[in-house]
Amino acid sequence: MGLLENKVALITGAGRGIGKAIALRFAQEGCNIAFTDIALNDVVMETEKELQALGVKVKAYASNAANFEETHQVVDEIVKDFGRIDILVNNAGITKDTALKRMTEEMWDAVINVNLKSVFNFTKAVQPVMWKQNGGSVINMSSVVGVSGNANQCNYSASKAGIIGFTKSAAKEMGVRNIRHNAIAPGFIITAMTNALPEDVRKAWESLIPLRRGGTPEDVANVALFLASDLSSYVTGQVIHCCGGMNC
C-alpha cells in the first residue's frame, strides 16, 4: 500500500518540471491527482496521460493561479470531481530576472502575482475544504534565494521570501484543525531552464554545492512526498532546504 493511498492532491503548475515530478511521485504512492496549468496544451495533456497510466484518478485543469476568482472556481470543480482535497502543493511560479535598475513594474508585479499571490489564492480556496475534513497538508515551493537572496532576482527572491512568512503564519493559524503548512526551498535544480545555461555557468554553480551536483526534480519530489504523507505528521511551519548543502 502506498504512502498516499486514496488521498487527493491538488498541484499547481504541474504540467512540467518540478510540479510534474511531484505529481508522478505522488501517483506512484497511490495518490489521486488534480493539477493545474495556465493552459491545457499538448505538454499538459501528455502529463495527464502519464499520470493516468499509473492507475490513479487524474484530471488536468486550466487555471491562472494569479487570478483569485479563477482559483476559487477551479477548487470548487476539483471538489466536485474528487470529493475532497488532502494535499495542496503550491508550485506555480515564473522568473523575470534582471538587475533592479532595469526591472520594470510589470516584471515585479508579474512575479509577485504568480509566485506569491497564487499561494494566497489557492490556500484561501482550499482552507474551508481541509477545515471541514479536520486535516490536510499544504506544501509551498519557496527557494534558497528566498532565504539568502540573489543578485538580479529581487522580484523572485521577494516572492519566495514572502512564501516562507506566509507558510509559518498559516501553520500557526491552522494547526488547531490538523492542517499542516510547510515550505520546500530548492537550490540549483536541473530543469529545462537550467540546462539552457552555458556549461561553464552550470559548472560554476555546481562547484559551490557541497554535494557537487545540481539537484533533480525527483529530489524535490521526494521531500514533497515526506511532507504530504503521515511520515511528517508532527512537522509544520518548517522550511526544508533541498539544495545539496548549498545553503547550509
Write down the domain spans for the chain: 8-242
User: Distance between CA 73 and CA 75 in Å, rounded?
Assistant: 6
Q: Exposed, middle or buried, 71 (CB in 10 Å: 0-12/13-18/19+)?
A: buried
CA angle 195, 100, 117 (to 5 degrees): 75
Residue 27, C-alpha cell as written in the block: 501517483
User: Distance between CA 167 and CA 238 in Å, rounded?
Assistant: 8
Q: What is the mean pLDDT of residues 159-172?
A: 98
Residue 52 exposure: Cα atoms within 13 Å on the Cβ side: 9
Specify the range with the lowest mean pLDDT, choosing from 29-38, 114-123, 203-212, 215-224.
203-212
CATH of domain 8-242: 3.40.50.720
Q: What's the full length of the chain, in residues?
A: 248
Global pTM value: 0.96
The catalytic residue among 26, 82, 156, 188 is 156
Identify whether 156 is a catalytic site residue: yes
| pLDDT value at residue 193 | 66
pLDDT higher than threshold 80 for residue 195: no
pLDDT band at 94 (very low <50, low <70, confident <90, very high): very high
* Beta strand spans in 6-112 (E): 8-12, 32-37, 58-62, 87-90
User: Distance between CA 94 and CA 82 in Å, rounded?
Assistant: 28
Specify the range with the lowest mean pLDDT, choosing from 5-14, 119-128, 183-192, 201-210.
201-210
pLDDT band at 19 (very low <50, low <70, confident <90, very high): very high
